[in-house]
Structure 1
């Protein structure tokens, strides 16, 4: 099968219920988690490179065709707002917003994003642009964030989830995976499997490293 259907977790996927306020996708690089959240975002009407539904920036057509095979079945309540946030192309989206030269839009994003660090601009966007009753699809947001930034994102997620918002996130972060009551799916050669937080590989490896760093590294470097 051609990409993306050569990915086991994608090839065997038939139906997926996204009925939790926070759904998290975990897995190794190449497991398909970013491909899947991208397809969900595009099927929901977002720009493939990220942004709101009104953002039309396109620097390179690199998204997969998977969105053409995704059919979203929504509840009767439609999201009032939304955003597709991906670390790898956020610079392009920030440039697009800057080039609009609209003071109202700049203010809505918490100021000029390019005048902040990568992580600061992420948190500014989440703080000022994300609102209640929204659908927010995030692709590996931890790539731009410090540990404190991860925690700040979780706090904002908590506030917005209480106001009717939904988050769909791909991540490697053991911090974000620890969001309370989140539904976690792990993508691997075995397909896509709902998994408890403590059973995810990234949590198991992080716990082992922190429990005995010297022993962990001894085994890692052992010839």
Structure 2
């Protein structure tokens, strides 16, 4: 573990203004977010705020909001978000030097929409492989050492078998002392044994077991009988 808790304090904020209007952001401000396992999955519908959270966590740790390692902080025209610039961490014992010393910091922020460009500027050549294979280049070549790795929907470009490969990379990374925080829709990734799963939505944030995830229930029922869903969507 690198960090044990993330938090941000504001003396006041407008609850009707984004991002403070997002329930999970308000809960973060009120309670903070504790990390209880080397891998934390944030799961929720589009617009639930999970990507807002992971971006702010990455920025707070010193990773470029565009995507990439801490060596490329602010290399892109994207500025630091209002939440990200206020993010603070309580370090785990093995992460104290990394949190307090820029030179000791290790990690990577992988955004689905900017991953290939971020990899290209860090010396990889993702253009020579498929989109999905380009993602795996990052996992094979950048996710190697103890550090904080923040992922935003990494399954976006991956097939079923590639998602399984990613699970293996994450498992090996954490055994080397790394920590992973991942926003995802994938029931495959969230099934990683020992992972902490936080469901994000109108309720804010709550910890759930894999079998209790709404996305797992929907996929199970859809695969059992797609017509139950499609009859409400596809015209006869």
Deviations 1:146-183 (A, max 9, x none): 11111110011111111211110000111111111111
Aligned partner of 1:103 in structure 2 is: none
What secondary structure sits across from 1:185 in the alignment? strand
Residue segments in structure 2 that go unaligned for 5+ positions in a row: 1-14, 99-104
Q: How many residues align?
A: 211
Aligned partner of 1:114 in structure 2 is: 127
Establish whether residue 200 from structure 1 lines up as the match of residue 205 from structure 2: no
User: Aligned partners of 1:170, 1:25: CA distance in 2, in Å?
Assistant: 5
Q: TM-score, normalised by structure 2?
A: 0.82
Aligned partner of 2:8 in structure 1 is: none
User: Aligned partners of 1:18, 1:206: CA distance in 2, in Å?
Assistant: 27
Aligned partner of 1:27 in structure 2 is: 44
Structural RMSD (CA): 2.0
Deviations 1:77-107 (A, max 9, x none): 125631111111113313423xxxxxxxx3x
Segments ≥4 residues shifted beyond 6 Å: none
Note if contact 1:57-1:92 (Cα within 8 Å) is conserved in structure 2: no
Aligned partner of 1:139 in structure 2 is: 152
Note if contact 1:21-1:166 (Cα within 8 Å) is conserved in structure 2: yes
More displaced 10-residue stretch of structure 1: 161-170 or 12-21 = 12-21
Q: TM-score, normalised by structure 1?
A: 0.87
Residue segments in structure 1 that go unaligned for 5+ positions in a row: 98-105
Deviation at 1:222, TM superposition (A): 7.8
